[in-house]
Amino acid sequence: MFRSLSVKNYRIWFIGALVSNVGAWMQATAQNWVVLTELSDTNAIAVGVTMALQFGPQLLLVPFSGAVADRFDRRRVLMITQSLLMLLACGLGVLLVSGVAELWHLYAFALALGIVNAFDTPARQAFVSDLVGNEQLSNAVALNSASFNSARLIGPAVAGVLIAIMGSGWVFILNSASFIAMLIALMLIKVPRAPRQVSGRESQGNQLVAGFKYVVRRHDLVVIFLIVFVIGAFGMNFPVFSSTMAVEFGRGAGEYGVLSSILAIGSLTGALLVAKRPAARLRTVVIAAGGFGMASLISALMPTFWSFAVTLVLLGFCTATLLSTANAFVQTTTDPMVRGRVLSLYFAILMGGTPLGAPIVGAISDAFGARWGLGVAALSGFIAFAIGLGWLIVERQLRVHIGDRGKLTFTHAGRPDVDAAPQPQAETLTAPLSVLKRGPVILSEPNSAPQSGALSEGLTGPISILRDETESDPGEDTNMPKKGDEER
């Protein structure tokens, strides 16, 4: 489960990110509570607008942020973005402590935060591939999610206590100090500098178009992008849900922080289970989308604060399973030459939908009650599940066969014969191997790394891509390191 931590650079990164993430969750909790209760009269729309300003730049800047992650030294990019985030947190904290902060200050802060994060997120995600090998990348992505959700378990609860004792401004100031851990980690990490594998003959515009064209050709990636857009826009508005439900149950900042921490219990569990799996599978993303819809519906029907809090564990579990698996699938099946741009597009779609969905969900919560906002989240989960299942049935020819004694057998484009014995296949459930650039993989225990061998029923695993499809040798084992792997 923790095999990526055997890499020294990744261990340093993991520790620095954990400390910084605790501070970030403290700040996120304080920001939403300040907007809802201190700078507005429990106005859920104001929370939605804040989220829209914070995540809008993720979509608008995608043509530039992904190119920056691909073309420049990611470590230096992160040094700059993390320093800017530290200064922003400190500045808003001073305004709040001095008592001069107004709602427009929070809006401006959220917008600036979104602009910096638009460049920080794809660089931070792609930087992980610079720290670990391709075979450990899926595990490292899942451990990143585990770190993120471990911090989510601690940060909101601490923030709730600090808001009640010291005031919200000090939470922002403490978060600015937490960035020091990340900056120290970045200075300690030593990654051999290698030229990015992007052709100098291509113009900037052609490089950006290449990233979009790559995604369009990959229908499996298009399905994942649609799923995360629908749920990201209308389902993952947790600041709106948690804050408005806490107010509806007559609770304060402390209980609001507890809700966020309880949500993180399920999120951490989901992320750790993804880390145990040898590979990310698209089918897991589809199932998790349906689970998200059901968990949201159950949460909306809970009659008491604590029964609602308990259901957040399931909601967090489904959310982390969906996001960790989708993230790992995108990273491990994308050509490294366009990985930064594809990741930038992925996160732009995931978080860029928030400017559309968050104000709508906030308005619905204001007009009809907080539970109806959760109802919208449930609907988004069911729609996302239908998109994934429909694609598997129509394009990938997924079928269920009931045999003797009720035994269920699944067939698909890669295994069309119900009586076929497990053997090397040309296609998985989600795509041809020539598209995914995978060599054969053995089904093994969840805590084992994928190995060369016979492919069994659509297993999805980490890959190594350094050449175009037209340059690949069909008989070559694509799991073997290629020239340039040691330089990345």
- How far apart are the C-alpha atoms of 87 and 83, rounded to whole Å? 6
pLDDT of 103 strictly over 70: yes
Q: What number is the average pLDDT over the span 238-242?
A: 84
Specify whether the CB–CB gap between 413 and 458 falls below 8 A. no
CB atoms within 10 A of CB 378: 21
Collapsed DSSP state (helix, strand, coil) of residue 415: strand
- How far out from the chain centre does Cα 59 lie? 15
Report the predicted TM-score, pTM, of the whole model to 2 decimal places.
0.68
Smallest CA-to-CA distance from 61 within 140, 118, 122 is with 118
Q: Which residue has the higher pLDDT, 51 or 58?
A: 51
The pLDDT, as a whole number, for residue 207 is: 62
Inter-helix orientation angle 339-352/103-131, to 10°: 150
- Residue 21 to residue 16: CA distance in whole angstroms: 9
User: Would the pLDDT of 163 be above 70?
Assistant: yes
**pLDDT-derived band at 288, boundaries 50, 70, 90:** very high
Please list, in sequence order, all residues whose beta carbon lies within 8 angstroms of the beta carbon of residue 347, skipping any fewer than 6 positions away.
58, 121, 122, 125
Instruction: Report DSSP state, residue 421.
Output: P
Chain centroid to CA 46? 24
Fill in the DSSP letter of residue 483: T
Nearest to 183 by CA among 89, 73, 78, 77: 78
pLDDT greater than 50 at residue 444: no
Q: What is the mean pLDDT of residues 146-158?
A: 80
- Residue 89, pLDDT score: 94
> Beta-carbon neighbour count of residue 476 at 10 Å?
11
Whole-angstrom distance, CA of residue 129 vs CA of residue 141: 9
Phi, psi at 408, each rounded to 5°: -95, 135
Alpha-helical (H) ranges within 277-353 are: 282-300, 305-332, 339-352
Token couple for 231:
């749920």
Token pair belonging to 159: 């923030």
Query: What's the pLDDT at 276?
Result: 73
Say if residue 180's pLDDT is above 80.
Answer: yes
CA angle 442-448-453, nearest 5°? 20
What pairs with residue 427 in β-bridges? 432
Condensed to tens digits (0 to 9), the pLDDT of residues 13-27 reads 888 888 888 998 899
Assigned token pair, 65: 């942020």
The answer to whether residues 240 and 361 touch, using CB atoms and an 8 Å cutoff, is yes
Asked whether the CA dihedral 466, 469, 470, 475 is positive or negative, the reply is positive
pLDDT of residue 225: 93
Give me the mean pLDDT over the 114-124 stretch: 87
Q: Which of 389, 243, 256, 378 is nearest to 319 (CA)?
A: 378
Residue 357: strand, helix, or coil: helix
Question: How many CA atoms within 13 Å lie on the side-chain side of 222?
Answer: 12
Per-residue pLDDT reduced to its tens digit, 371-397: 999 999 999 999 999 999 988 888 777
As a whole number, the mean pLDDT across the chain is 77
Average pLDDT over residues 52-66: 79
What CA–CA distance (Å, rounded) separates 271 from 414?
A: 29
- pLDDT tens string 401-440: 677 776 777 666 666 666 665 555 555 666 655 555 543 3
User: In this model, does residue 200 exceed pLDDT 70?
Assistant: no
Residue corresponding to tokens 């993180």: 264
461: part of which helix (H) or strand (E)? Answer: none
450 — pLDDT class (breaks 50, 70, 90): very low
For residue 347, give the nearest of 124, 139, 122 by alpha carbon.
122
pLDDT confidence of residue 486: 36
Alpha-carbon dihedral sign for residues 28, 31, 37, 42: negative
pLDDT confidence of residue 445: 24
Give the integer Cα–Cα distance in Å for 250 and 170.
25
Task: Determine the number of helices (DSSP H) and then strands (DSSP E) in the chain.
Answer: 17, 2
CA distance readout (Å), 414 to 121, 295, 426, 438? 35, 32, 6, 14
- For 328-362, give one letter per residue: b (16+ CB within 10 A) or e: bbbbbbbbbbbbbbbbbbbbbbbbbbbbbbbbbbb
Q: Which pLDDT does position 230 carry in this prediction?
A: 94
Q: Which of 31-35, 277-281, 320-324 has the least mean pLDDT?
A: 277-281
